[in-house]
Amino acid sequence: MSTLFANHAEKLQAAVNACKTRESYSGWPENPSSKLHGDELPAAGKARFDAQLGKPFELEQPAEIGRLGEERSPYTRELLGISYPKVDVPQLFQAIEQAKPAWASAEPETRLGICLEILERCGDQLFENAHATMHTSGQSYVMAFAGSGANALDRGLEALAYAHKAMEDVPASGRWQRQFGRDGVADLHKQYRIMPRGVGVVICCATFPLWNAYPALCASLATGNPVVLKPHPNAVLPVALVVRTAREVLAKAGFDPNLVCLVADERDAPATQALLDEDATSIVDFTGSPRFGGWLENNCPGKLVYTETAGCNSVVLESSNDLDATARAIAQSLCQASAQMCTSVQNVHIPADGVRVGDKRVSYQEVSQAICAAVDDWLTEERRAATLCGTLFDDAVQETVDRYRELAGDRILRDSAPFAIEGFPSARTATPLVIAATEADRDWYRQEVFGPVSFLIRNDDAQHCLADATGNARDCGAITSHVYSTDEAFLEKAVDAYHGAGASVACNLTGMPINFAAAYSDYHVTGLNPAGNACLTDLAFVANRFRIVQTKYMAP
Amino acid sequence: MSTLFANHAEKLQAAVNACKTRESYSGWPENPSSKLHGDELPAAGKARFDAQLGKPFELEQPAEIGRLGEERSPYTRELLGISYPKVDVPQLFQAIEQAKPAWASAEPETRLGICLEILERCGDQLFENAHATMHTSGQSYVMAFAGSGANALDRGLEALAYAHKAMEDVPASGRWQRQFGRDGVADLHKQYRIMPRGVGVVICCATFPLWNAYPALCASLATGNPVVLKPHPNAVLPVALVVRTAREVLAKAGFDPNLVCLVADERDAPATQALLDEDATSIVDFTGSPRFGGWLENNCPGKLVYTETAGCNSVVLESSNDLDATARAIAQSLCQASAQMCTSVQNVHIPADGVRVGDKRVSYQEVSQAICAAVDDWLTEERRAATLCGTLFDDAVQETVDRYRELAGDRILRDSAPFAIEGFPSARTATPLVIAATEADRDWYRQEVFGPVSFLIRNDDAQHCLADATGNARDCGAITSHVYSTDEAFLEKAVDAYHGAGASVACNLTGMPINFAAAYSDYHVTGLNPAGNACLTDLAFVANRFRIVQTKYMAP
């Protein structure tokens, strides 16, 4: 057994077990508190980030033909001033070609061991990564530490658990004996070998750069494929840190570091097409816009394409025993990470005749007010507001908010406004904009409106709420969907309707961040609606990333 | 547990075990001998086939808008005179739509039980199927009984074993508890549900109509997808028998029989495009020509496409301790089913300076003579020749033989000729045509030449043999590849070279039909070269045919 595999076998087994029981598990700490980590580690992480600002990012990769970089902090609005290699893609792929055979020949456990070690080493730089994520993706420190740290690493480990299961399903050898007619017994020794598909290209998004990067990297690399990571131009640093770590681990283990490479680019000179043009690119993992994701799904014949894009996540609010708790749960989703999460709620469907609460019926207006008040409540304390909302990663998000403010006019139920973040007077921030809508406004809400913009949609009745929400999930995609109802029959109908639309659904979630997607437990993205064509992670996410070749030997 | 599942659970478990150990297993009898079956069963099967001739095939399917059928027996050259429903495809798909929900909602074990029962009932009609296969695909009775009977059914069962494993990997439920900040413990009950992708269309080939039909049917149906089988116009009857049986089993189990439908067509009015045009068609399984297979791989965006096409299967003959046994093994492959099998050898690479046998070097000429003599030897007895070779399924195969006879001229090492089959004076038959070739003739042999045409290729030396053979596998595809060598170092190099070309390889097989592909043990088709994009069967063949949706409920 490879040493690295042995070192991490227990953690891998815990992940495999959690995938089976679907219970709560995490391999890394989610809380950045000094009470847990002491003062030194957090300070060292910040120092490393600070020291990187204004400097070239050290990454010795082949095919460097210059430097690039245009990251700007949503907190300071200043350029980070970090430069990354500008890469000649065909030349890089020649170098990757050299790295392939030894990696393909390595035992699955050797590759898994190295992937586990990469995750472990990335886990050592969670504080540095948190600052890197804050100042690129705009997340708050706490979110950047947990959501882009432990929660993302867990998803990488989850992918390794599935890769392990899928590869373990292929025995290394077998013996086959049978009689053919009068020719005696044919006695064959057979060997089975896992073969990679080619190069995996991982296209990362701006707001959660590592969320799908870890699972894609791990799924492709563990099954034998070199991986090229292509970060979003405004969120390179978190990805570059992972690439550098991966290269160090690979080299230390005696493999070619070019098995994991970074191809950064700038908005005006994107590198994606050059990566897709390479024949060796056999696998594409994409996180980003539905438009480009859809294009990839339809225009990469012969390549495996896995996408997570976006949809219009909904809440159907039929009835509740505790309207305050429900409003509070919904409001938290409208605030969290300024609704720049793939799991953020956007469309809240409320029956025109109101919501049954206990034995009363509460009007649409009162429910709207409760949700808006709950939003305000989350934002009362300045510090909590900053931690919950973070910043807007890009000017375009603020422009979206502004556009909808203008469109909505007197239909604004709760207006958006900047809020202060201590220590960052220039931070780009916006509290949730909440808009009253009806089905006549379908053009507004039947798409992902990226950022803190939500719609409280007054549908004719609960049936119409459900029909609207599930129709939108089917046609426009959904990653999370929520139903609040105390009526078992309605819940059952709602679950069936969402499932029929290819969407998963959560019922009556309160007292927790409803945006939370749990690795090992939640099958994230169904692949059955336009919000993505794959699940991250299930067996299908990994089983096709490798192939099997065999050898039969006749026993002499 | 569903009754049907319980009835067949032992057989399914045996298949799962065999997939793990890769040992020899078969769920059905391969030998049609009356010593095993008595006289009655074989006679009844033949009687049922005879009674079908000249009559409409009874199949009550919706959307029938007429009848069609143009099958002609390669044994009698007479039309079978059997008519099948001519189907209005959009109308049929409307009916299939109705059948979907109940099937999607059924427990995986219920679906597996029904699929197992379908295979079992198809196993009851192996004699009838053997005659149907003889008089459509042109196989010999023995081959039709085994290769299109037990061996094909086993592949269906193998697909069910993998479908079972993949679906079993998804737990039905889980409980997830964790603390978020000071909000107390969130306690979620989760349910996971397997969801089908859509309709699976299975496009069958002419010469082994059920070989890939069973695995595709089973893989899609067990995972919840309705299946439409589209047989080759000249090999409808074997497929129609399966469809009728499947529909009977489904109906008896209380499901809509339209979950399995037949769409037959004629050469002049193919139905495939209409099937692909249906949005509901989400999965396409194709067996047939590399040209159409390649087109499907590249032109069905958004649909899952699994192909097995063809390549130019090779032998590299470097050395042997028993040239007679080696020649006999190769010769059998050249004869078997008139080399109309996907595993038939076509290109035999022989070093120009001959083959080392023991401590002698045997010249190219002597080796060629040995192979041709071995072919003659297989054909000495009229009855054995008929059993081994069967007929040519189509005039086009005879035309191919004729064309190569003309092209080869004095390079013919062994000429092709018709041979007699007792009781069928009109049978379309041809013994193997063996042609001497060099690398100058690459245009001849760098493609599948379908039928009993083979090339004994004189390469400069063993290295060149290997380079030519593996280059062809990489560029033109290969389903089986053979190396004969007593030199361990050469074998190792050959194995690596074939694997590098994305091909599996068999070493020194003698004393058995080397065309034989063993369900549960051989991963048939690698998916890594142009002879197909999928393996039948591995986890990847099934894991993507379904998706997972989930429900989370917060414990009150």
**Is beta strand A347-351 parallel, antiparallel or unpaired with respect to B412-414?**
unpaired
> Hey, is the C-beta of B383 within 8 angstroms of any chain A C-beta?
no
Check CB contact under 8 Å for B23 and A174. yes
Amino acid A48: pLDDT: 98
Longest dimension (CA), chain B: 90
Amino acid B281: pLDDT: 98
How does DSSP classify residue B207?
S
Three-state DSSP class for A551? strand
**Residue whose token pair is 């089975």:** A192
Smallest CA–CA distance, residue B236 to chain A, in Å, is 30
Amino acid B399: pLDDT: 98
Question: Which residue of chain B comes nearest to A532, CA vs CA?
Answer: B302
Smallest CA–CA distance, residue A413 to chain B, in Å, is 28
Amino acid B2: pLDDT: 84
A-interface mutation test, from B197, B541, B552, most A Cβ less than 10 A away? B552
Q: Which residues of B touch A505 (CB under 8 A)?
A: 549-552
Restricting to A residues 280-339, those with a Cβ less than 8 Å away from any Cβ of B are 297-299, 301-302
**Residue whose token pair is 């045409």:** B453
Q: Which residues of B touch A192 (CB under 8 A)?
A: 22, 523
Q: Which residues of A touch B301 (CB under 8 A)?
A: 297-299, 301
Check CB contact under 8 Å for A183 and B512. yes
Question: Which residue of chain A comes nearest to B545, CA vs CA?
Answer: A540
Amino acid B184: pLDDT: 81
Which of B166, B521, B543 shows the shortest C-beta gap to A176?
Answer: B521
Which of A23, A503, A543 shows the shortest C-beta gap to B176?
Answer: A23
Check CB contact under 8 Å for A495 and B554. no
Amino acid A1: pLDDT: 63
Q: Is B441 exposed, middle or buried (0-12, 13-18, 19+ CB in 10 A)?
A: middle
> CA-to-CA distance for A237 and A69, rounded, in angstroms?
10
Sign of CA dihedral A194, A198, A199, A201: negative
Number of CB atoms found within 10 A of residue A338's CB: 32
Q: Which residues of A touch B303 (CB under 8 A)?
A: none
Q: Which residues of B touch A498 (CB under 8 A)?
A: 549
What lies within 8 Å, CB to CB, of A106 at 6+ separation is A224, A255
The angle, 0 to 180 degrees and rounded to 10, between the axes of the packed helices A364-378 and A382-389 is: 100
> Hey, is the C-beta of B540 within 8 angstroms of any chain A C-beta?
yes
Three-state DSSP class for A433? strand
Low-confidence ranges of chain A (pLDDT < 70): 1, 183
> Hey, is the C-beta of A517 within 8 angstroms of any chain B C-beta?
no
> Hey, is the C-beta of A347 within 8 angstroms of any chain B C-beta?
no
> Hey, is the C-beta of B35 within 8 angstroms of any chain A C-beta?
no
The 10s digit of each residue's pLDDT in A47-104 is: 999 999 999 999 999 999 999 999 999 999 999 999 999 999 999 999 999 999 999 9
What lies within 8 Å, CB to CB, of B64 at 6+ separation is B85, B86, B87, B88
> CA-to-CA distance for A223 and A162, rounded, in angstroms?
10
* Residue A480: cis peptide before it, omega within 30 degrees of 0: no
User: In this structure, are residues B261 and B217 in contact, taking their beta carbons and an 8 Å threshold?
Assistant: no
> Hey, is the C-beta of B169 within 8 angstroms of any chain A C-beta?
yes
* Residue B223: cis peptide before it, omega within 30 degrees of 0: no
Which of B197, B495, B538 shows the shortest C-beta gap to A548?
Answer: B538
> Hey, is the C-beta of A495 within 8 angstroms of any chain B C-beta?
yes
Which of A506, A511, A528 shows the shortest C-beta gap to B195?
Answer: A528
> CA-to-CA distance for A248 and A125, rounded, in angstroms?
14
Q: Which residues pair with A433 in a beta bridge?
A: A453
> Hey, is the C-beta of B387 within 8 angstroms of any chain A C-beta?
no
Amino acid B1: pLDDT: 63
Amino acid B287: pLDDT: 97
Smallest CA–CA distance, residue A508 to chain B, in Å, is 6
Question: Which residue of chain A comes nearest to B176, CA vs CA?
Answer: A23
Low-confidence ranges of chain B (pLDDT < 50): none
Amino acid A184: pLDDT: 81
> CA-to-CA distance for B222 and B108, rounded, in angstroms?
7
Nearest CA to A336 out of A75, A142, A506, A199 is that of A142
Q: Which residues pair with B506 in a beta bridge?
A: A552, B482
How many Cα neighbours within 13 Å face the side chain of B137?
Answer: 35
User: In this structure, are residues B521 and A190 in contact, taking their beta carbons and an 8 Å threshold?
Assistant: yes
Question: Which residue of chain B comes nearest to A299, CA vs CA?
Answer: B301
> CA-to-CA distance for A94 and B330, rounded, in angstroms?
40
Nearest CA to B364 out of B379, B374, B372, B354 is that of B354
> Hey, is the C-beta of B507 within 8 angstroms of any chain A C-beta?
yes
Check CB contact under 8 Å for A511 and B183. yes
Check CB contact under 8 Å for A195 and B516. no
The 10s digit of each residue's pLDDT in B48-97 is: 999 999 999 999 999 999 999 999 999 999 999 999 999 999 999 999 99
> Hey, is the C-beta of A178 within 8 angstroms of any chain B C-beta?
yes
Check CB contact under 8 Å for B180 and A511. yes
> Hey, is the C-beta of A23 within 8 angstroms of any chain B C-beta?
yes
Check CB contact under 8 Å for B190 and A527. no
Structure tokens belonging to residue B203 = 């496009």
The 10s digit of each residue's pLDDT in B514-556 is: 999 999 999 999 999 999 999 999 999 999 999 999 999 997 7
Q: Which residues of B touch A486 (CB under 8 A)?
A: none
Question: Which residue of chain B comes nearest to A22, CA vs CA?
Answer: B174
Question: CA gyration radius for chain B?
Answer: 25
Amino acid A350: pLDDT: 98
Question: Which residue of chain A comes nearest to B31, CA vs CA?
Answer: A181
> What angle is formed at CA B14 by the lines to CA B13 and CA B15, rounded to 5 degrees?
90
> CA-to-CA distance for B4 and A456, rounded, in angstroms?
50
Q: Which residues of A touch B165 (CB under 8 A)?
A: 169
Q: Which residues of B touch A177 (CB under 8 A)?
A: 23-24
User: In this structure, are residues A452 and A138 in contact, taking their beta carbons and an 8 Å threshold?
Assistant: no
CA distance readout (Å), B357 to B160, B326, B501: 45, 11, 28
Nearest CA to B316 out of B148, B187, B149, B503 is that of B503
> Hey, is the C-beta of B502 within 8 angstroms of any chain A C-beta?
yes
How many A×B Cβ pairs under 8 Å? 210
Q: Which residues pair with A435 in a beta bridge?
A: A412, A455
> Hey, is the C-beta of A55 within 8 angstroms of any chain B C-beta?
no
Three-state DSSP class for A436? strand
> CA-to-CA distance for A66 and A48, rounded, in angstroms?
24
> Hey, is the C-beta of A125 within 8 angstroms of any chain B C-beta?
no
Residue A85 corresponds to which amino acid? Answer: P
Check CB contact under 8 Å for A552 and B505. yes
Check CB contact under 8 Å for A535 and B548. yes
> Hey, is the C-beta of B419 within 8 angstroms of any chain A C-beta?
no
Check CB contact under 8 Å for A171 and B511. no
> Hey, is the C-beta of A513 within 8 angstroms of any chain B C-beta?
yes
Nearest CA to A538 out of B239, B157, B546, B214 is that of B546
